[in-house]
Amino acid sequence: MNVFLDSLAWLADPVHLAGPNGVPARLGEHVLYSLAAVAIAAVVAIPVGFLIGHTGRGRTVAVALTGGVRALPTVGLVFLLALVLGIGITAPMIAFVVLAIPSILAGAYSGFEAVDRATIDAARAVGMTEWQIVTRVELPLGLPLLIGGLRSALLQVVATTTIAATVGAGGLGIYIFTGLRSNDYTQMFAGSLVVIALAVVLEVLFSVLQRLVVPAGVAAGRPLDTRVTTSRSAAAKATSLQEGTQ
Amino acid sequence: MINTAKKGRLTVLGAVAIGAMVALAGCASSDPLSDGGDASSSSDAIVVGSQQYYSNEIIAELYAQALEDGGYTVDRQYQIGQREVYLPELESGSIDVFPEYTGNLLQYYDKESTAKSPEEVESALADALPDGLTALAAAPASDQDSYNVTKEFSEENGITSLADLKDYSGSLAVGAPPENAERPYGPPGLKSVYGVDVTSTPIDDGGGPLTVKALLDGSVQLADVYTASPLIAENDLVTLDDPENLILPQNVVPIVSDKVDADAKAIIDAVDAVLTPSDLQKLNAKSQTDQESSGTIAKEYLTSKKLIG
Amino acid sequence: MTWIWSNTDYIWDKTLVHLGLSVPPVLLAFVISLPIGWLANRVAWLRGVLLTASGLIYAIPSFALLVALPGIIGLYPLRSSTNLIVGLTLYGVALMVRSTADGLRAVEADVLQSASAVGYSPWQRFWRVELPLAGPVLLAGLRVVVVSTVSLATVGGILGINGLGLLFNDGLQRSILAEIGTGIVLTIVMALVLDGLLVLLGRVLMPWAGREPGPRSRRQEAVTA
């Protein structure tokens, strides 16, 4: 309990709140980098994911990519890029985008895939064009899973941004590293608390968003969760959706 | 479908694979669970530790090989991150020999110390160390913080000393390890002693390639690089003079536990006696530029100084 | 490149240590998540609570967690392998609980009733019927856990915890790109190899499970379910 209290006191100290190295400033940097990275990754991954989901092609490559990136050590990637490109946010940002793309891609295509083919056939039968099907049927129905992918990606980037402080890029990690090198565990713990709080807040926000975004008709008359009933289809789902944060 | 015979073979294969994996993991030469805990060595082996800093590891390896040549069994525990971890282990005897740096270690035990010169610091350290720890004689070699600028910057602005900085009209950012911001010789010290305003750009590579690259790229104007780093000479950097002795001297000093006997101490002293600042720089260059391992570097150096073999 | 050839011993040692630090958390996570997942499946309201809790834990950035754990638990030093193993196990459990709960839920009630009718006790039924049938889902979850654990274990290197992560630290300080690259490649390879071993294990233990279906057959399964 002592550590908690000490760290909270550290965080409340006005000295630590003021200026460019203050907690609010670093928190702001951290959030900014993370959102920017996810935005960039989304611009690339969402259209591609929709394409894969709509046409059903290229899925194996996408699944392999998602799985492969899970094995990629983020620390190594950030350090490598920093050695080549120098200090600052450029090197880590590239790493962030690389790590964020697979989650968003998975969210995008699985969102589309989850839409029952019968619904799409019905839409075609009613006379909708391909584009209308995408925007009026697949997109709204697939939105929850897409948001889930965005949420995974954001958490992954928030986690990696913590490490970016090593290479002169700012962010909340700076407290952890300064504390580490100065034998100041209170500072380290305080820094980690803020990062954890940020992650939890984002997780909750996005979970709520995910639920809100489900179209009213679907939520109301929600049939049996036909997607996850047999062991095998559940297995296929599990591999594409479960992401990690590093 | 897999028939029973094939399934039987697959089961065996699976079992062998798992068994092999477990056996291999058990064969790891360092016990994963002994890091940060007690040394799993035989009672008369001397345990030599090092910091998570390649240069410190080289010095530790110098001691280790010299001791081995003197007939001792040596157990190596390198890359330990924090003083909070290894100092208690030194006190309790789980680690026996550790290369340290006079200034920082003194600061660790006595933040209020006013010792400035290398000799003052060394004797203050001897007083400040707790029971159970002894500092042997410090080596001439030192590895302290130093503020560096590029050659162009120095020539264009006529800056060769920290005292010159206050005349510089532009903004000054220093690329330094994160803890520099809170140390007495960091920006607060520069302000109070030299009247210079400097902002910190923390870079956590131990005054290494990222820091120097930032200096060369112009992202920062000053770089805190350790004096023993080969990067200073390699990049023609100019180390600024420190007339007020703001920066604490950091001579290499071995800290030993009570378990280390007089003969072993003599062996370690012999190594330190010959270790000059330029020698340390050359050893570091072998590691950074030539990418040699600490074992190879130590062996070459000790052989050339006729301390082993 | 020459760095690699001159340091094969060092590299191999780090690889073994890393393996020794990655495998126990996965096993522990599997064992610990079984009762938790079973509970989540049995007690309706617990399911929501446990799944939310595990989701939250998984959201926590690993580096921050490793830093915070010694402060919370207070039993071991920051840079000890114990810290890393506890952190990795925590993540593993958080991931596996969902898989276990989903997998057990997917076992059809009819099958369970038949098993009871034939005379299985609840304990036997769990081990001989429920668990094997939930196997494929559990395996899928375990594969994800193994891969993330191997990769996450490198984060310990920044704190000085032994393993492939140390290659990143040392490579950065000495500017040896090959060292960092080696660390990255070996981590990925180890993750893929362990993943492959799990797949093999799955085929051996559950030969009746067959392969995963593609998107086309999903509709059929949805209909027959």
- Please report, for the domain that includes residue A183, its CATH number: 1.10.3720.10
pLDDT in tens, B293-303: 889 999 999 99
Chain C contacts in chain A segment 45-84 (CB below 8 A): 56, 59, 67-68, 70-77, 79-80, 82-84
For the segment B228-235, the average pLDDT, to the nearest whole number, is 90
State how many domains chain A has: 1
Q: Are C140 and C99 in contact, with CB atoms under 8 Å apart?
A: yes
Chain B contacts in chain C segment 18-47 (CB below 8 A): 19-21, 23
Chain C contacts in chain A segment 73-132 (CB below 8 A): 73-77, 79-80, 82-84, 113, 116-118
**A118 contact residues in C (CB cutoff 8 A):** 219
User: Which parts of chain C sit beneath pLDDT 70?
Assistant: 210-225
Distances (CA, A) of C198 to B158, B163, C184, C205: 66, 64, 21, 10
Give the predicted TM-score (pTM) of the model. 0.81
**B183 contact residues in A (CB cutoff 8 A):** 182
Query: Is C221 in contact with A230 (Cβ distance < 8 A)?
Result: yes
Nearest CA in chain B to C174: B288
The larger pLDDT score, comparing residue B291 to residue B65, is at B65
**C184 contact residues in A (CB cutoff 8 A):** 72-73, 76-77, 80
pLDDT score recorded for residue A238? 44
- B76 strand-pairing partners: B48
User: Which parts of chain A sit beneath pLDDT 70?
Assistant: 1, 219-246
Residue type, B26: G
* Whole-angstrom distance, CA of residue B268 vs CA of residue B288: 25
pLDDT > 70: what percent of chain B?
85
**B181 contact residues in A (CB cutoff 8 A):** 21, 178
Contact status of C145 with chain B (Cβ, < 8 Å): no
Q: In what side-by-side order are the strands of the sheet with B147-149?
A: B199-202, B173-176, B222-224, B147-149, B238-239
**Considering only CB atoms, which residues of chain B are within 8 Å of chain C?**
1-2, 7, 10-11, 13-14, 17-18, 21-22, 24-30, 32-33, 35-37, 52-54, 79-82, 84-85, 205-206, 208-210, 287-288, 291-293, 296
Query: Is C204 in contact with B7 (Cβ distance < 8 A)?
Result: yes
**Among B100, B106, B88, B141, CA closest to B279:** B141
pLDDT score recorded for residue C214? 42
pLDDT score recorded for residue B40? 43
For the segment B79-86, the average pLDDT, to the nearest whole number, is 75
Size of interface A-B (CB pairs under 8 A): 63
Q: What are the structural domains, with CATH classification, of chain B?
A: 40-142+250-304 (3.40.190.10), 145-239 (3.40.190.120)
pLDDT score recorded for residue A232? 43
Query: Is B32 in contact with C21 (Cβ distance < 8 A)?
Result: yes
* Whole-angstrom distance, CA of residue B232 vs CA of residue B297: 20
**Looking at chain C, which subunits does it touch, using at least 3 CB pairs closer than 8 Å as the criterion?**
A, B
Nearest CA in chain A to B85: A183
For the segment B131-135, the average pLDDT, to the nearest whole number, is 88
Residue type, A174: I
Q: Are C58 and C87 in contact, with CB atoms under 8 Å apart?
A: no
Who among C23, C79, C204 is closest to B35 (CB)? Answer: C79
For the segment B268-295, the average pLDDT, to the nearest whole number, is 89
Query: Is B181 in contact with A88 (Cβ distance < 8 A)?
Result: no
Minimal Cα–Cα distance from A171 to chain B, Å?
Answer: 11
**B79 contact residues in C (CB cutoff 8 A):** 160, 162, 166, 169-170
Mean of per-residue pLDDT scores for chain B: 83
Q: Which domain holds residue A89?
A: 2-245
Query: Is B28 in contact with C16 (Cβ distance < 8 A)?
Result: yes
Tokens of C28: 């522990």
∠ CA(B247), CA(B148), CA(B222), 5° rounding? 100
pLDDT score recorded for residue A215? 78
Nearest CA in chain B to A19: B199
Q: How many CB atoms lie within 10 A of CB C192?
A: 16
Query: Is A181 in contact with B178 (Cβ distance < 8 A)?
Result: yes
* Whole-angstrom distance, CA of residue A156 vs CA of residue B236: 41
Q: Are A163 and C158 in contact, with CB atoms under 8 Å apart?
A: yes
Contact status of A174 with chain B (Cβ, < 8 Å): yes
pLDDT score recorded for residue B101? 93
Query: Is C136 in contact with A232 (Cβ distance < 8 A)?
Result: yes
Query: Is B204 in contact with A181 (Cβ distance < 8 A)?
Result: yes
pLDDT in tens, C105-133: 888 888 888 888 888 888 888 888 888 88
Contact status of A9 with chain C (Cβ, < 8 Å): no
Report the relative pairing of strands B97-101 and B238-239 from DSSP bridges: unpaired
